[in-house]
Amino acid sequence: MNPFPLKSVLTLLLTGTLAMGSAHIAFADDDDDDWFESPQTLAPPVNATYNQECGSCHMAYPPGLLPPQAWAQIMTPDALTDHYGDDAGLSEERRTEISAFLQAGASRVTLRMAPSGAVSGLPRITDSIAFKHEHDEIPARLVTGNPEVGRFSQCNACHRKAAEGSYDERWIDIPGHGPWKD
């Protein structure tokens, strides 16, 4: 009497072969940075005052891109009068409303910032270690050398769903280059 029926052995071999054959799917996008993944979708900015005041000069960044202490530093009256080289001064009522909105939606993860060498001492999303890691494979010529993009801070130039809070790679389309393939 055979302790391992042929049918059981074949089933086991077939299952193992299928598992091994499909294992490559799990590693298809393995560019060795999964340990560092940041959220691909953030809550979009839904505060009308924030969208009007801040979004009139630059993209209204999702609050989840910076921690509360960074937004607090950016939203001080002095920082707003020299807001990355521009005067973005607000009435106290509007400043308080926008600050509360940013604080409520801020990232609860402390972001390590890389030194930028920028004149302004204000925190920059583009100086976060996470941002630099996510963008380290993108040649500068596609962004800073691209007149349709200009700067890495122009997220919505390439991230087609940035206004909705989506930074998923499948929605990246670099002007003059096309979809980004990691």
Residue 29, in any domain of the structure:
no
Cα-only R_g, the chain? 23
64 within a domain of the structure (yes/no): yes
pLDDT in tens, 39-74: 567 888 889 999 999 999 999 999 999 999 999 999
With 70 as the cut, is the pLDDT of residue 119 above it?
no
Number of domains in the chain: 1
Give the pLDDT of residue 20: 58
Domain assignment of residue 54, given as a range: 41-113
103 vs 28: which has the higher pLDDT: 103
Q: How far apart are CA 29 and CA 37, in angstroms?
A: 12
Average pLDDT value for residue range 9-35? 52
Domain assignment present for residue 89? The answer is yes
Percent residues over pLDDT 70 in the chain: 71
What is the pTM (predicted TM-score) of this model? Answer: 0.71
Please state, in angstroms and rounded to a whole number, the distance separating the CA atoms of residues 4 and 11.
11
Q: pLDDT: is 70 or 28 the higher one?
A: 70
